[in-house]
Amino acid sequence: MSSSPAVSIRLQGASNFRDLGGYRTQDQRRVKSGQVFRSDHLAALSAQDLEQLKALGVRHSLDFRGVAEYTATPYDIAGVQRVALTIEPTVIARMQALVAQGIVPSTDETVELMRETYRDFVNRNAGTFGRFLKHLLEHPTPQVFHCTAGKDRTGFAAALLLSALGVDRATIEHDYLLTNALYKRDARLEGMGHPHVMKVLWQVQPEFLHAAFDAVDTQHGGMHDYLHGAVGLSPREVSELQQMLVQD
């Protein structure tokens, strides 16, 4: 495993922006740098940040946020086409339903809600993640994908992409957990909630990603079958994705 190559790119208006390139694949090649970036939302970028985005050559932003999230913090970046890949934040709705009943979930119950959210990514949102991978393939220019914090929907999207490129799961988990070191929480986005609940919701834990991988393995026959089945990529498309984003 080679866990160190991830490059965090310092921006004033986004804390979790980083290059997915540099990771070593299981056949000892490397994911190309400067092609695919992951981030938290892009609505607070400064003029200097926008110049940096332009210098990176980013032409498309793939936005996993729900309608209310995008409406609250929209953006329009010159030269960058925003592509809506809407996945509504169901964990928030579930949490609000509990609160409405006067129920405050425990830390363990909140973790289980997050695990269920990740199982939903696998089983309910496979088609959307398939569109994400196909968009990368169809537009071979630098792209960035994101949600609000760049941790859950973005984290699973990164896990899928790196899996398709042949990166091992330990390295994928390393990339996933970098959010806890990089993302700066924003109280304006989090809403009100009990501190122990909010801590779970706005960080990442290995258990969340493991729930997704377990669902892939037990319900879909493993990552290979999942990518070719529910996600909807042909073997040729996966091969082309590897040719485009992996270097010898």
For the annotated catalytic residues, the residue numbers are 147
Closest CA to 187 of 176, 203, 202, 165: 202
Rounded Cα distance between 91 and 9, Å, is 29
Tokens of 99: 């609160």
Distance, in Å, from the CA atom of 38 to the CA atom of 53, rounded to the nearest integer, reads: 12
Segment holding 121, helix H or strand E = helix 107-124
Q: What is the DSSP letter of 93?
A: H
Quote the DSSP letter at residue 23. P
Q: Which residues contact 167 (CB under 8 A, 6 or more apart)?
A: 23, 24, 25, 26, 31
**Residue 28 and residue 31: Cα distance in Å, rounded?**
10
